[in-house]
Structure 1
Amino acid sequence: MIALNTNKLTPFDQKIKQPLSKQKITVLQINLGRRCNLACNHCHVEASPKRTEELSPEICQQLIELINRFPQIETIDLTGGAPEMNYGFKLIVEAAKKAKKEVIVRSNLTIFFESGFDVLPEYFAKHQLRIIASLPCYLEDNVDKQRGKGVYNASIRAIQKLNQLGYGNEPDLILDLVYNPPIPSNENFSLTPNQINLEKDYKTFLKENFEIKFNQLFTITNLPIGRIKTYLKNKKLYDAYLQFLESHYNPQTLAHVMCRNQLSIDYLGNIYDCDFNQMENIAATLPDGKPLTVETLLKIGNLDVINDIKTADYCYGCTAGSGSSCGGSLI
């Protein structure tokens, strides 16, 4: 599909015509830091081995207190960087599991082969962590172009190891994979493929070639944030890409966008409506306009203090076509 660069973008808040309201909070998505063993070219967090930002012991303890205090929290979603490399990972995992929460780790899989992290697969299985792992294509060339040479083969070996431990087979050991489309190099933009059909293709190819099993595939749209934003601007494609996303806006996705029932928390304890707002530094606020932190929530004693979600033009990425979220397509 070709994006036309002739129409002016409609601001997202004007498109939806009314504020996007927050619902009961059931998910905490925590970014533990920017340190990562990879530097993928589609990373909206701009993580890399050179980054040093990570959670502090003080904020870690506040997060554990938050997890313990609010029974309404169902899921703790740990991300980064490579979350496993940043301070507080195991402390939060074990506190959350003790509190009977679902724990998701968003793993790049290749971390298993870094010094000191080879025990992670067994640790994940022991604590029954749900793994959501990046594998942006089932073909080697496409993966290595996005994530670096050798990443595909390392990812395959990591999944095989997880399968040996029961992931993808046992009901309490869930392994989901994530598809990201290639970053567009011209105005021939396209939305993510149909998630159900692409999952079938992944499962067939990976089973036939590597005897690999996994649970679900999530298709996630590339939002123009972080390294993708920089790339699109350098290619003079940024405005055209946003217009393409707007042209495929689907109002049916609004009821299901992930920002409605989650809080996104950074390594400093600041709170955002979603991970994308976190990267763009658009803080969530109380009705009086004051920014929110974990410490503030603990003092208030209430998670449901945000009325309206802060939106931006990149929200078209979550609401185009079948929609996109950290859990894949929305409808």
Structure 2
Amino acid sequence: MQVPAIAITPFSQKLSAPLLKHDISVLQINLGKICNLACSHCHVEASPNRTEELSPEICQQLIEIIQRFPQIQTVDLTGGAPEMLYGFRELVKAARASGKEAITRSNLTIYFEKGYEDIPEFFAQHQVRVVASLPCYLEDNVDKMRGKGVFDKSIQALQWLNRLGYGSDPQLILDLVYNPQLPTANKFSLAPNQQNLQAAYKNHLQEHFGIVFNNLFTITNLPIGRSKFHLQHRKLEEEYTSFLETNFNPTTLGHVMCRNQLSVDYQGNIYDCDFNQMENLPARSPHGEILTIAKILEQGTLDIIQEIQTADYCYGCTAGSGSSCGGALL
């Protein structure tokens, strides 16, 4: 007997009005898909076998964007493992030279790979804000999601960053990211209360490893990338999306990260967020034109987009307390 499909209300129909862009203040750049890990929840589907990365031409255009527009407050570098990818150091230096915050989304284990051993010192020298993935403070849970031995290397990397002043020096910010484990049955849950979980992380890591950090961000697993494949394999995708819809919280809409962010891929294409980038849902001008970094440079403005492109996975960012690259929204 065929199981009837679950009716999911299109996300756009949940909105009382189109989701509109605010002034752009964050430039998030996905430098490519090369990574030394292949995590089970990775929405980018990054791995050591991928080859996609930034080109010199696009890198130069991005540096020009960073230098030309004072309204950009934050340059947020992600991947893959961004530290492995072309242009990473140049973009960090351009951001810092322009007085902007530079963030790197780090998997921590990259510091132990040949050729990247100086990365922590580079971060400290340029006061890069490190947002590091540590989906749990327990070894077994981390290794299940990210690979055997990843937890131990992550702890060593955090201790390394602490020795350089990260987590204690106000100029050296170290944040951690929590992701829930992917469900294996139809018992779903939202991320725990961010403030309470942060306290638990801080107590455990300080007590057992002497580690200090600034903030914990809780991020919901959206049904895209490897998370989507995981859910589809277990025939849970529709149920999970329905669960997220059930927990839709309209008060999160004023705070979603796509409001003030441009997301750029390694080819220079522009999206409203990194999730839309991975699902190939490009940002558009009011005339429906697909946008690129070259187009922004040509028009001389970051604020071309009026209406944000949405899809049903947007329920992941707007369920419960909300979710963004900066953690819970409420």
Residue 284 of structure 2 is aligned to residue 270 of structure 1: no
State the distance in 2 between where 1:7 and 1:114 align: 45
Aligned equivalents of 2:198, 2:31: Cα separation in 1: 29
CA distance in 2, matches of 1:98, 1:52: 29
User: What are the Cα deviations for residues 69-89 of structure 1, in whole angstroms up to 9, with x where unaligned?
Assistant: 100000000000000000000
Contact conserved, 2:6 with 2:238, CA < 8 A, in 1? no
Displacement of 1:231: 1.1
Amino acid at match of 2:117: D
Residue-by-residue CA offset, 1:153-189 (whole Å, 9 max, x unaligned): 0000000000000000000000000000000001000
Question: Counterparts of 1:179 and 1:95 in 2: how far apart (Å)?
Answer: 29
Whole-Å separation in 2 of the counterparts to 1:90 and 1:118: 14
2-structure distance, mates of 1:147, 1:42 = 8
Aligned partners of 2:5 and 2:320: how far apart in 1?
A: 21
| Residue of structure 1 in register with 2:11 after alignment | 12
Structure 1 residue 85 and structure 2 residue 84: aligned?
yes
Tell me how far apart the structure 2 counterparts of residues 203 and 309 of structure 1 sit (CA, whole Å). Answer: 36
Q: Deviations over 1:220-249 (max 9, x none)?
A: 000000001011111100000000000000
Counterparts of 1:7-156 in structure 2, within 5 Å, are: 8-156=7-155
Q: Is the 8 A contact 2:6 2:239 kept in 1?
A: no
TM normalised by structure 2 equals 0.98
- Contact 2:257 2:324 (C-alpha < 8 Å) held by counterparts: yes
How far apart, in 1, do the equivalents of 2:167 and 2:233 lie? 40
One-letter code aligned to 1:16: L
Secondary structure of the 2:244 match is: helix
**Cα deviation per residue 1:137-162 (whole Å; 9 max; x = unaligned)?**
00000000000000000000000000
| AA of the residue aligned to 1:39 | A
Asked whether 1:240 is paired with 2:239, we answer yes
Correspondence for 1:214: 213
Cα shift at 1:6:
7.8
| 1:228 alignment counterpart | 227
Q: Deviations over 1:53-94 (max 9, x none)?
A: 000000000000000110000000000000000000001110
Alignment RMSD, CA only? 0.8
List structure 1 segments (4+ residues) > 3 angstroms apart after TM superposition: none
1:319 is aligned to 2:323 = no
* 1:16, distance to aligned residue in structure 2 (A): 1.1
Partner amino acid, structure 1, of 2:190:
L
Matches within 5 A, 1:175-324: 175-324=174-323
> Could you give the per-residue CA deviations for residues 23-55 of structure 1, whole angstroms, max 9, x where no partner exists?
000000000010000000000000000001000
Report how far residue 7 of structure 1 moved: 5.2
After TM superposition, give the deviation of residue 17 of structure 1 in Å: 2.7
Counterparts of 2:138 and 2:107 in 1: how far apart (Å)?
Answer: 16
Shift of 1:99: 0.4
1:244 is aligned with what amino acid? F
Q: Which amino acid aligns with 1:316?
A: Y
Instruction: State the Cα deviation string for residues 169-218 of structure 1 (Å, max 9, x = none).
Output: 00000000000000000100000000000000000000000000000000
Q: Which amino acid aligns with 1:256?
A: H
CA contact (8 A) 2:82 2:104 kept: yes
* Structure 2, gaps ≥5 residues long: none
TM-score by length of 1: 0.98
Q: Alignment length, in residue pairs?
A: 327
Offset of 1:309 from its aligned partner?
Answer: 0.1
Whether the 8 Å contact between 2:248 and 2:315 is mirrored in structure 1 is yes
Contact preservation (8 Å) 2:32, 2:53: yes
Residue segments in structure 1 that go unaligned for 5+ positions in a row: none
Instruction: Give the Cα separation in 2 of the matches to 1:70 and 1:128.
Output: 21
What displacement does 1:8 show?
A: 1.2
- d(CA) in 2 for partners of 1:95 and 1:231? 38
* Other structure's SS at 2:253 match: helix
Distance 2:111 2:136 in 1: 20
Separation of aligned partners in 2, 1:128 and 1:296: 31
Distance (Å, rounded) in 2 between the aligned partners of 1:91 and 1:123? 12
For the residue of structure 1 that corresponds to 2:325, the secondary structure is: coil
Partner of 1:163: 162
